[in-house]
Amino acid sequence: MKTRAVLGCAGILFVATGCVAPEQALEAGDETEELGSSADELATGNALSANALSANALSANALSANALSVNALSPVAASALRDPGARGDLFRSLVKYTVSCALKESQSFRFSWTDRAGATHKEVYPGHLGLAPRWDRRPLDDEGKRMVSACLAAHTNRYGVSVSISMRSRQNPLHHEVGCGELDEYPHVEGAFWGNLFTETPYLRACYNPANVDVARAAKRDCAAGQLDADGDLEGCGMIEIVGRCKEYCGKLNRSGEYYKECDDPEFGETRYVITTALR
C-alpha cells in the first residue's frame, strides 16, 4: 500500500511501515540519488517495532538537541547508526521513522554505513509529515519534541505489521478542516499517543477507545488497545505505557475532526501535543 496525504480532511492518512538511519541533513531542493517518492519509501518494510523504542533508542540524548545532521548526533548515536549488527538495524529503523515524522517531503536526511562484508550502504531518508521541519537548521523546540515523539509512538506496532491508519491532531500540519471522506473511510478511533523521547526521563503514553478495542486488536494495533496478559491485565507496548481509557485522560473527541484536543498525563499534567489514530 502507498502513503497518501489527505488534504482538506482532519488528519493525514498514511501507511505505517519500516525504517533505516542518518549522516547529513539535506536542504530543500538538494539533489540526491534517485529514490522514488517518499510515499513509496514509507510503504515498504515492517512497522516500527516496539524494540526500536527501547530505553536505549532516542533516550539518554541518543540524538542531541542540535539540528538534525551527522555532526549533531552524539557519539553514541553516530556509532549506533553505523553499527553493522542488530543494534544498528534498530537504530536506523528508528531514525528513518523520526525523519519521516519530523521533516517535509522536500527534505531528506542521508548518511552511509559499512556492513560486515565491507559493502557500503548510502542511505537517504525522506521526510513526510513535516511535524518539525526546521530541525534541519535548529534544535527541536518543545512542540517538535513532543509531536515527533507522539508520531513515533503512533507508528509503533508490536507485531511488525504494516497497518493503514489516519493520524489526527489539533496541531498543524495534522489539523485540517473536515471536507472529504476520510472520517467515513477511517471511522474507528482507536486511541491517542503522547510523550517526550527527547528528555533525560523519556516516556510515551497511550490511551484507548473501548468502543473500538476489538477493531484495533484485529488489526494488530495493540499499542493503543493493549495486549492482555495471562491475568487479563493490560500490558504496555515496549516503552509505551497504556494508561487506560481515553475518556478518562483526554475527555471527549472533537466531533468535527474526531481527535482528542489534549490529554492529562498521570505524571506530567495536561498536554495538547497529542496524536489521535483511527482505523478502517
**What is the model's pLDDT at position 9?**
37
How many Å apart are CA 56 and CA 62, to the nearest integer?
8
Residue boundaries of the structural domains of the chain: 17-143, 159-279
**What is the model's pLDDT at position 58?**
52
Is residue 42 within 8 Å of residue 17, measured between CB atoms? yes
**What is the model's pLDDT at position 180?**
61
Max CA separation in the chain (angstroms): 55
**What is the model's pLDDT at position 183?**
81
**pTM, entire model:** 0.80
Per-residue cell: 134: 526546521
How many Å apart are CA 93 and CA 4, to the nearest integer?
21
**What is the model's pLDDT at position 116?**
95
**H or E element, residue 78:** helix 75-81
Q: Along the 280 residues of the chain, how does pLDDT read in single tens digits?
A: 222 323 233 334 433 333 323 333 333 333 333 222 233 333 333 367 666 665 344 543 445 544 566 556 667 777 888 889 988 888 888 888 888 899 998 998 888 899 999 999 999 999 988 999 988 888 888 999 999 999 999 988 877 777 888 889 999 888 864 446 778 888 999 999 999 988 878 899 999 999 999 999 888 888 888 777 788 777 778 888 999 999 999 999 988 888 999 999 999 999 999 999 998 8
How many Å apart are CA 198 and CA 62, to the nearest integer?
9
- Residue 33: C-alpha distances to residues 36, 48, 68, 108, 125 (Å): 9, 25, 20, 11, 11
- Residue 84: C-alpha distances to residues 13, 63, 75, 114, 126 (Å): 33, 19, 16, 7, 22
- Residue 255: C-alpha distances to residues 10, 12, 217, 225, 277 (Å): 11, 17, 24, 21, 14
**What is the DSSP annotation of 150-186?**
HHHHHHB-TT---EEEEEE-SSTTT-----SSHHHHS
How many Å apart are CA 49 and CA 141, to the nearest integer?
26
How many Å apart are CA 51 and CA 37, to the nearest integer?
27
Residue 47 is classified by DSSP as: P
How many Å apart are CA 35 and CA 184, to the nearest integer?
33
